[in-house]
Structure 1
Amino acid sequence: MVEDGAGRTPETTPAGKSVPARPTPVGRPAGASGEPSRLAAGPRQTWAALPWLVRSAVVWSACLVVVAAGLYLLGKTAALLAPLAVALAAALFLTALLDPVLLLLRRLRLPPAPAALLTVLLLLGILVGVGALVWNLTASQFEELRQELGQGLERARDFVTSTLPLTDEQLDRLVRQARQGLGAGAPDAVGGVRTAAETAGFVLFALVLLFFLLKDGRSMWQWTLRRMTGPNREVVAEAGRVGWRTLGAYSRGTMIIAAIDAVGIGLALVLLGVPLALPLALITFLGGFVPIIGATLAGAVAVLVALAARGPGVALLTLAAVVAVQQIEGNLLEPLVMKRQVRLHPAVILVAVTAGTLIAGIAGAFVAVPVTAVAYRVVDTVQRHRRAAAEDPSG
């Protein structure tokens, strides 16, 4: 066959006549088709043609969407199960706090069940005894405090009207509007009864769970480890030991620090002649279990009571005493009592307490920090094991 000058091969019909030949594309053999490969490589070529900044933005945006969806589902689940989670966390916190008492009773050759029951009864006895003592010592002071608060409010009213451009009528109107707003946001009686019943139920659940954790906690943990196989068993065992030690150190250290704060501020209130020093010291003790925020609120309550009862001079002295006790506790006692691996950054504590408060109120604020501390130590232990395994392939 003879090619024409343009590189085309004439085609011949069955009758022997020649017809014009179709041109062959340059760079592709005749009869070869590249359409499927072009379609297959199209998306990849389009993606590769995009600038790297656009590709990175797309990938990170997709990851953020997935993470946000997961966090949303986790938050919804946590909100639904918040009372149960708080009760479980409180039971674990109390178990770590009371574990030395249980071990002491076991050394006295008491069986597990009686030792656990006696430990729970000891906790209830302490709580009821402290509550009864505080009530008996301070019940007679509540009427005096009410009168002094009324006088303090009158002094505050006179100060506001004499300092700010407000008349008595305008101030009364603002007070009435505030009371109406508070009354509109107050829960109804039925909701209050239901909330009280649910709280009592979860408190009972936490106490029963505390008994079983004290009685069978170690055997349940060993049962869990026996179900693990391979290198994961060692990692889980080490993470569990570290987490439990962290929880125990945090619970006992927090209790010691809260007791020191309560004693120091209580003595200062007694020396300054502030009424209700014992219940204010108890509030300070309870506030110590919520780092930063709890101590701040407890100190503010003490200063307000001193202002209403004894005037601004004593209130300033009370503020100085509160600040001094908290500074000594934070800079001297806490590093000695708390182990280094238990301490968290203040920003992490604030975020944890805020999240716990939003999810489960005051109870969530109490358990947020120990849960965060334990989770941090467990994750750190797992990461260290993974790094060690990556550096030692033979292991």
Structure 2
Amino acid sequence: MAAGDGGHPSDETTVRGAGPRQTWAALPWLIRSAVVWSACLVVIAAGLYLLAQITLLVTPLAIAVAATLFLAALLDPVRLALRRLRLPGALAALLTVLLLLGILGGVGILVWSLTADQFSELGDELGQGLERTRDFVISTLPVTEEQLDGLLAQLRQTVSQQEVDPIASARTVIEVAGSALLALVLLFFLLKDGREMWHWTLRRAAGRNREIAAEAGRVGWRTLGSYSRGTMLIAAIDAIGIGLALVLLRVPLAFPLALITFIGGFVPIVGATVAGAVAVLVALAANGPTTALLTLAAVIAVQQMEGNLLEPLVMKRQVRLHPAVILIAVTAGTLVAGIAGAFVAVPITAVAWRVIDSVQRQRQAAAATGDSA
């Protein structure tokens, strides 16, 4: 470009450099938003996939750590009560762990003595209930007996083809036992030195980040404690309510079914649904369709009372999650770590959500304070 043209030599370079920005700005806002969100989703999906792969490699360790945190949050009030009695930290932690072992051992012995002979009957009752359900399906739906039997035979063949590997089974037993032992040892140290560990971690942060991390940690720990204690209380109330209904309806195996309901209460929505279905099938096999319908009504009534009355009272509002989020979390946990993953998925999701929300609120508060200053 000549000097007499009144331009500058850098104008053409500037225009060329601004070309991509102008092209991006010329795109419709919907396309720009779709590109940005798609890129974010790809990054998040890649991160979650990598995290899932790492978790699969160390599944026993991950389950042990999750169980340790759950039990520590559940038993922390016991340890604090023992500390108020001026017991040393190590002794208070040891007594808390021994109390847990005593309760688990006592409940296990009681359950075994009361239900050891009944669990074999439970399988027979479930088989009879499924048989009656088969007859009901054939009589009410446009499905022939041959079609349904063929489908069931194919399902049985698929299940029977899954050969049991004794080496893999022994390895699984060893991993479960090792994870349980590791969880107990970690539980002792976490109850004994957990706060010192957390303070040491906070000292690694500096300035405003330390305050954000401290508050996020407090919120996450309170959420986990509230969730663990609330879940156990709600599961116990569900088991008692459904167990009493089964006794009043003279359904056999009421105690084993109540125990299944209690265990299922630790897997929100899915666990309660499965436990209720088992109770209805047993009632159908033992006493017929009328008792089965009454059992179904009792199960629905107890679960509605739990969801609309007990859960809002027992669980704090910040612990509650939307049912869709719970279903996604339980499904993801089951796919990653099986039954154990289903148990720990919801508390991990609740804590993660509360920690992220706490960090976001603190950053917004800090930004608002800076703008006002």
Task: Give TM-score, length-normalised by structure 2.
Answer: 0.88
> What per-residue deviation string (whole Å, max 9, x for no partner) do you get for residues 110-131 of structure 1?
2222221221121122112212
Tell me whether 125-134 or 35-44 shows the greater mean CA deviation. Answer: 35-44
What RMSD over aligned residues (CA atoms) do the two structures have, in Å?
A: 2.8
Shift of 1:218: 1.4
User: 2: CA distance between counterparts of 1:318 and 1:166?
Assistant: 28
- Structure 2 CA distance for partners of 1:226 and 1:258, relative to 1, 3 Å: same
Tell me whether 43-52 or 312-321 shows the greater mean CA deviation. Answer: 43-52
Letter matched to residue 268 of structure 2:
P
- Structure 2 CA distance for partners of 1:167 and 1:96, relative to 1, 3 Å: closer
Q: Any residues of structure 2 matched to 1:153-168 within 5 Å, and which? A: 155-156=132-133, 158-159=135-136, 166=144
1:313 aligns with one of 261, 274, 290 = 290
Does the alignment pair 1:231 with 2:208?
yes
User: 2: CA distance between counterparts of 1:352 and 1:254?
Assistant: 16
1:75 aligns with one of 27, 33, 52 = 52
Partners of 2:126 and 2:278 within 8 A in 1 = no
Task: Give TM-score, length-normalised by structure 1.
Answer: 0.84
Does the alignment pair 1:45 with 2:19?
yes
Letter matched to residue 351 of structure 1:
I
- Which residues of structure 1 form unaligned runs of 5+? 1-26
Q: Any residues of structure 2 matched to 1:76-155 within 5 Å, and which? A: 76-149=53-126, 151-152=128-129, 155=132
Shift of 1:368: 1.2
Tell me whether 137-146 or 28-37 shows the greater mean CA deviation. Answer: 28-37
Tell me whether 385-394 or 311-320 shows the greater mean CA deviation. Answer: 385-394
Q: State the secondary structure of the residue aligned to 1:229.
A: coil
Q: Any residues of structure 2 matched to 1:336-347 within 5 Å, and which? A: 336-347=313-324
- Structure 2 CA distance for partners of 1:60 and 1:38, relative to 1, 3 Å: farther
- Which residues of structure 2 form unaligned runs of 5+? none
> What per-residue deviation string (whole Å, max 9, x for no partner) do you get for residues 163-205 of structure 1?
666457x665554432221011344222112112111111111
Q: State the secondary structure of the residue aligned to 1:185.
A: coil
User: 1: CA distance between counterparts of 2:206 and 2:168?
Assistant: 49
Partners of 2:126 and 2:281 within 8 A in 1 = no
Partners of 2:234 and 2:265 within 8 A in 1 = yes
Letter matched to residue 81 of structure 2:
L
Q: Any residues of structure 2 matched to 1:163-202 within 5 Å, and which? A: 166=144, 174-202=151-179
How many residue pairs align between the two structures? 368
Match of 1:357 in 2: 334
Tell me whether 84-93 or 104-113 shows the greater mean CA deviation. Answer: 104-113
Tell me whether 130-139 or 208-217 shows the greater mean CA deviation. Answer: 130-139
Partners of 1:145 and 1:309 within 8 A in 2 = no
Letter matched to residue 298 of structure 2:
A
Letter matched to residue 87 of structure 1:
A
Q: State the secondary structure of the residue aligned to 1:392.
A: helix
Q: State the secondary structure of the residue aligned to 2:87.
A: coil
User: 2: CA distance between counterparts of 1:62 and 1:161?
Assistant: 50
Letter matched to residue 16 of structure 2:
G
Shift of 1:290: 1.3
User: 2: CA distance between counterparts of 1:97 and 1:104?
Assistant: 13
Partners of 2:118 and 2:256 within 8 A in 1 = no
Tell me whether 67-76 or 103-112 shows the greater mean CA deviation. Answer: 67-76
User: 2: CA distance between counterparts of 1:245 and 1:56?
Assistant: 37
Letter matched to residue 310 of structure 1:
N
2:198 aligns with one of 201, 221, 231 = 221
1:270 aligns with one of 226, 230, 247 = 247
Shift of 1:157: 5.3
1:244 aligns with one of 214, 218, 221 = 221
- Structure 2 CA distance for partners of 1:177 and 1:381, relative to 1, 3 Å: closer
